[in-house]
């Protein structure tokens, strides 16, 4: 089941939404998210939500919750 997630990602063309992927794999979105988290920990997938902490903000007012301009960016997950 876990491998299927990586495989599906390798085979997709273009961007795919989490919902689309969950329908394609016939998995609940929640379950899929859990599996994605597992692969992120294993270093096979990259989650932009976690990578964002590494980004800088220049003088664009880095607030308590990170760069204020960066917060609007949607979360994305990629193969590494």
Binding flag, residue 61, other proteins (CB under 8 A): yes
Rounded to whole angstroms, the Cα distance separating 56 from 43 reads 22
Binding flag, residue 16, other proteins (CB under 8 A): yes
Q: How far is CA 22 from CA 40, 44, 45, 73, 80, in A?
A: 17, 18, 16, 22, 20
Rounded to whole angstroms, the Cα distance separating 19 from 36 reads 13
Count the residues of the shown chain that bind other proteins, applying the rule CB under 8 A: 54
Binding flag, residue 43, other proteins (CB under 8 A): no
Among 7, 25, 43, 59, binds other proteins (CB under 8 A): 59
The secondary structure element, H or E, covering residue 44 is none
Where on the chain is the footprint of other proteins (CB under 8 A)?
A: 1-3, 9-19, 21, 27-28, 30-31, 33-38, 41-42, 46, 48, 51-52, 54-61, 63, 67-80
């Amino acid at each position: 089941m876990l491998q299927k997630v990586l495989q599906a990602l390798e085979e997709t063309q273009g961007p795919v939404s989490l919902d689309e992927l969950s329908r394609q794999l016939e998995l609940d979105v929640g379950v899929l998210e859990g599996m994605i988290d597992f692969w992120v920990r294993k270093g096979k997938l990259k989650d932009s939500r976690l990578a964002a902490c590494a980004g800088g903000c220049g003088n664009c007012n880095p607030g308590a919750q990170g760069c204020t301009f960066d917060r609007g960016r949607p979360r994305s997950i990629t193969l590494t």
